[in-house]
Structure 1
């Protein structure tokens, strides 16, 4: 196992399961081949055969371990059964209750369970369920945010809670470069999970306009204006685009169902209309008024200056973190 490896992986770097289908087989395989943990995103509806096909396609691109992320507020039981039958290496879970029964079932198939939590209380329940690792998400993260605590305060509390148990703690929220990686390690994490930085890669299935905006823009906002009907009570962090600036005061009590159709997309093989104020980010198949669609991004977006291959993102993280630790911090300690 190489520097900062976790869960049998070479490096302690996790690519978040980017919805709805931004982290497809190409991105997940690229991350896995570079020594990190890539995570597919399961459909937000029951589609077990489609999910099996996604997993099998990913296996044609890598022989390394990878996983699947499930958002538990949507129907998932058949998808869960499918990924267990396929015996993927990792099951990432969010927005739901992680029970011992679920963890034990996954373990019986040889699948490790890695929940994402957004609060101290969630972390405690996950630990009590014998999970294999925990992703701690701070409010700095892009997309739908689980909790309200900043990573710098929440992460060390969860690290202390885990104590000497063999449960790696993985930091998530606003991390995009080696400096963030080292900061997370200093706070007690054993790895990092990144979403925004991996959207801005060659292999991600994000629309080219979305990727371009991640490079050009540096401001995000925590809001609840997108996707209120489809996913109520799930605030999100988005890019502060010109469209968002015009619509950030979208009245309470209104949602996307009353808004006009502004585009079309295909998500996990299904054609969909995209309404204004919907929470669906534009993927590579999306057509229409893309600049008026939701674009999730974490607070670290202003540091991202170029679209890179996923393997290069991982290499720069590892090399840069090693350099920081060996040269800057070691030098200060020696002095």
Structure 2
């Protein structure tokens, strides 16, 4: 069945490496224990000892394999070295070119490499350097969005491109339930990667107000208002909160550097000030004007009706997908 066997994991369900620290050991371990692939997220600065600590904390919570996500747009070489030394199951890469040298280095350490791409051109490069799987992100996705195409058009093209290379393709962007899962399988994916659905779980390290907004709001928008100075040229999809709606036409010359401080937080053990229009999502340590902070979410957020344990999300998704395939797509009913 399509939900089995991806990269050796029990189910083809991947929990995206929610940043900057929302995908912590508790969330990743819960997903891993349920049979999915959980992904930690490294800091956006070099901190190899801390990365090793995150990995070891996760291993205390699960004896199942898991991975770590790295954003290549930020300093990362020492963090990647730490990940390979710890020999996690998967190194997930995003927003930068995955080199042949890095793939070889990872494979020598027994680590599989899975880049996330947003275009056919990126997928071609990934195939050529010998990656182990490819996450295809559609424009429907929450958070930072690297491509411009919708998932339903991009995914089958990448599947066709992969052909008989034996590289599993994983669908990401706007998938939160069994219908999206089955649709991705029908388009040729071997699994799915979800961010927003796992953001709305008990174990995610998001601020309670943020989680509540994911249930309250059902509209998102593709924008570049937040984090322009910290991560230029990185558009993103966010909830249409009242604050965002008031400021979504922000002058293109403005960014967070000259804005007032609206809160404080601790991210990966480091205390930070949060300025208005910063791209930093609130976690449980965050204080200040939470309602005016960025809240990333994918287009299908309106389908999320409750905050659940992450393991239950995996279980319900698999069971519902199996039922949907048997009942709706039974050959006798065609």
TM over 0.5: yes
Q: Is the Cα contact below 8 Å between 1:281 and 1:296 reproduced in 2? A: yes
Q: Is the Cα contact below 8 Å between 1:237 and 1:296 reproduced in 2? A: yes
Distance 1:284 1:3 in 2: 33
Q: Does 1:229 align with 2:229?
A: yes
Give the 3-state SS of the residue equivalent to 2:232 in structure 1.
Answer: coil
TM-score, normalised relative to structure 1: 0.98
Q: List aligned pairs for 1:78-227, cutoff 5 A.
A: 78-227=78-227
Q: Does 1:17 align with 2:39?
A: no
Distance 1:21 1:317 in 2: 24
Once the 2 structures are TM-superposed, how far is the Cα of residue 4 of structure 1 from its aligned partner?
2.5
1:241 alignment partner in structure 2: 241
Q: For residues 281-331 of structure 1, what are the alpha-carbon distances to aligned partners after superposition, in whole Å with 9 as ceiling and x for unaligned?
A: 101111100010000000010000000000110011100100110011115
Q: Is the Cα contact below 8 Å between 1:2 and 1:10 reproduced in 2? A: no
Q: Is the Cα contact below 8 Å between 2:70 and 2:76 reproduced in 1? A: yes
Q: For residues 5-64 of structure 1, what are the alpha-carbon distances to aligned partners after superposition, in whole Å with 9 as ceiling and x for unaligned?
A: 300000000000000000000000000000000000000000000000000000000010
Q: Is the Cα contact below 8 Å between 2:3 and 2:13 reproduced in 1? A: no
TM-score, normalised relative to structure 2: 0.99
Distance 2:3 2:218 in 1: 31
Q: Is the Cα contact below 8 Å between 1:261 and 1:273 reproduced in 2? A: yes
Once the 2 structures are TM-superposed, how far is the Cα of residue 139 of structure 1 from its aligned partner?
0.2
Distance 2:22 2:319 in 1: 26
Instruction: Identify unmatched segments of 5+ residues in structure 1.
Output: none
2:315 alignment partner in structure 1: 315
For the structure 1 residues 2 and 134, does the alpha-carbon distance in structure 2 shift closer, same or farther, using more than 3 Å as the test?
A: closer
Give the 3-state SS of the residue equivalent to 1:222 in structure 2.
Answer: strand
2:31 alignment partner in structure 1: 31
Once the 2 structures are TM-superposed, how far is the Cα of residue 2 of structure 1 from its aligned partner?
9.3
Runs (4+) of structure 1 exceeding 2 A deviation are 1-5
Distance 1:78 1:125 in 2: 24
Please report the RMSD computed on the Cα atoms of aligned residues, expressed in angstroms: 1.0
Once the 2 structures are TM-superposed, how far is the Cα of residue 3 of structure 1 from its aligned partner?
4.4
Distance 1:211 1:144 in 2: 18
Distance 1:65 1:132 in 2: 16
Q: Does 1:71 align with 2:71?
A: yes
Give the 3-state SS of the residue equivalent to 1:7 in structure 2.
Answer: helix
Distance 1:230 1:132 in 2: 31
Instruction: Identify unmatched segments of 5+ residues in structure 2.
Output: none
Distance 2:204 2:285 in 1: 12
Count residues in correspondence.
Answer: 334
Distance 1:29 1:176 in 2: 20
Give the 3-state SS of the residue equivalent to 2:159 in structure 1.
Answer: helix
Distance 1:295 1:42 in 2: 19
